[in-house]
């Protein structure tokens, strides 16, 4: 990661480019601003506030049933456990950079003793051919849409349909890591329900593009979700009340679900500005959702001062951090939300003119 200077500079930026805004207590206060103080809380998974939201999300995702979870980590481990138990094979397949593999301290393996089969090279998407060439039986295949760690790439919808059909023929359950599902509907020109129809179970997040404080939905058929409630209790996720997460999830879902096409178009606009700069490129070159990765052909110790300088000169904050990717390269991830529309276009273009100039100077001085 980059040093403190870039972070401090970004915190003072008048026009941060990414996200929906600071993750402070105001996020929760705003969600509750018009909620009646007499609204009854949920109690251990029951009650109007949780049941109505679960029904609303089940309908939106085109599934018969849905369960609200405090975290996606919990929801997905439980989904895979249910499918493994049903088939009697404790083996699942997913991408080498799947969240369960690199961000969960081996929770699936340690808690559920499920063995992963890693499909595809880490730098590309899983294909139908990868699934067809599996050398061992699995209970479930997990697909992440978009594949975050490689820039938020997406397969063609026809490829998804082919993978789904093959899994059903082979008796393999197909689970969707849809943490950013809402954000990909503009690219596919499909509803969330049309995408989810290809999958046996679906997880979605409410703190990413939606911008709630936390929370997730796990959806599928009633037999599946009833089992997930039992596992939710076993995992300690059946809190006496989850209404702070539910109320904020619903508030920001209603507020932002209609903006996903706007975020997508803005992401494409921003990526084009990056790709026009010397020594800068994006993955994907043309984004397929509101998020993408920005790559620099210089190390972070040289890029951080440049980005801090851009903030100081224009007030435009492009990022607060950088990730080391090699001796002469670094990158960062950007997700477009409400903030982007508030950046004055003249300031934005000034920032990219300056970035391009500084990158050209740095290239000459290599």
Say which residue the tokens 């998020």 belong to.
291
- Residue by residue, DSSP assigns 78-147 as HHHHHHHHHHT--EEEE-TT-HHHHSSTTHHHHHH-PEEEE-S-TTS---HHHHHT--S--SEEEEESSB
- Residue 246 CB neighbour total at 10 angstroms: 24
DSSP designation for 156: -
Going by pLDDT thresholds of 50, 70 and 90, the confidence category of residue 328 is: very high
Q: In the chain, what percentage of residues exceed pLDDT 90?
A: 97
CA angle (125 as vertex; 120, 128 as ends), nearest 5: 75
DSSP designation for 336: B
- pLDDT mean across residues, the chain: 96
Query: Alpha-carbon distance 223 to 352, whole Å?
Result: 53
Query: Alpha-carbon distance 33 to 100, whole Å?
Result: 36
Query: Alpha-carbon distance 301 to 195, whole Å?
Result: 42
Query: Alpha-carbon distance 140 to 123, whole Å?
Result: 22
Name every residue whose Cβ is closer than 8 Å to that of residue 196 and which is 6 or more positions away in sequence: 61, 62, 63, 176, 178, 181, 202, 219
Dihedral in degrees, nearest 10, Cα atoms 316, 334, 208, 154: 150
Cis, peptide link before residue 248, omega less than 30° from 0: no
Asked if residue 130 has pLDDT above 50, the reply is yes
* Among candidate residues 162, 267, 200, the one with its CA nearest the CA of residue 64: 200
* 179-233 pLDDT tens trace: 999 999 999 999 999 999 999 999 999 999 999 999 999 999 999 999 999 999 9
Query: Alpha-carbon distance 335 to 17, whole Å?
Result: 9
Going by pLDDT thresholds of 50, 70 and 90, the confidence category of residue 366 is: low
285: β partners: none
Q: Which pLDDT belongs to residue 2?
A: 42
Going by pLDDT thresholds of 50, 70 and 90, the confidence category of residue 4 is: low
DSSP designation for 328: T
């Amino acid at each position: 990661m980059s040093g403190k200077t870039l972070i401090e500079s970004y915190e003072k930026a008048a026009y941060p480019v990414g996200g929906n805004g600071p993750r402070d207590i105001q996020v929760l206060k705003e969600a509750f601003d018009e909620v009646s103080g007499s609204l009854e809380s949920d109690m251990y998974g029951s009650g109007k506030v949780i049941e109505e939201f679960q029904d609303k999300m089940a309908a939106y995702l085109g599934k018969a049933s849905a369960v609200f979870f405090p975290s996606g980590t919990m929801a997905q481990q439980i989904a895979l456990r249910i499918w493994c138990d049903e088939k009697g094979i404790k083996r699942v397949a997913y991408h080498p950079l799947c969240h369960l593999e690199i961000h969960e301290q081996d929770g699936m393996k340690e808690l559920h003793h499920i063995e992963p089969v890693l499909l595809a090279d880490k730098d590309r998407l899983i294909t139908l051919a990868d699934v067809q060439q599996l050398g061992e039986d699995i209970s479930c295949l997990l697909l992440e849409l978009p594949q975050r760690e490689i820039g938020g790439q997406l397969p063609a919808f026809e490829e998804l349909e082919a993978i789904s059909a093959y899994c059903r023929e082979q008796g393999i359950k197909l689970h969707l890591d849809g943490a950013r599902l809402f954000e990909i509907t503009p690219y596919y020109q499909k509803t969330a329900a049309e995408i989810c129809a290809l999958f046996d179970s679906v997880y979605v997040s409410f703190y990413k593009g939606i911008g709630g404080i936390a929370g997730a939905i796990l959806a599928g058929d009633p037999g599946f979700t009833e089992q997930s409630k039992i596992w939710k209790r076993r995992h300690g996720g059946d809190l006496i009340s989850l209404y702070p997460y539910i109320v904020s999830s619903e508030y920001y879902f209603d507020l932002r679900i209609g903006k996903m096409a706007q975020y997508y178009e803005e992401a494409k606009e921003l990526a084009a500005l990056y790709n026009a700069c010397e020594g800068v490129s994006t993955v994907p070159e043309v984004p397929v959702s509101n998020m993408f990765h920005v790559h620099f052909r210089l190390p972070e110790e040289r890029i951080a001062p440049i980005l801090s300088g851009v903030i100081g000169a224009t007030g435009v904050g492009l990022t607060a951090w950088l990730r080391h990717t090699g001796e002469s390269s670094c990158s960062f991830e950007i997700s477009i939300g409400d903030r982007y529309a508030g950046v004055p276009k003249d300031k934005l273009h000034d920032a990219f003119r300056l970035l391009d100039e500084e990158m050209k100077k740095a290239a000459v001085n290599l």
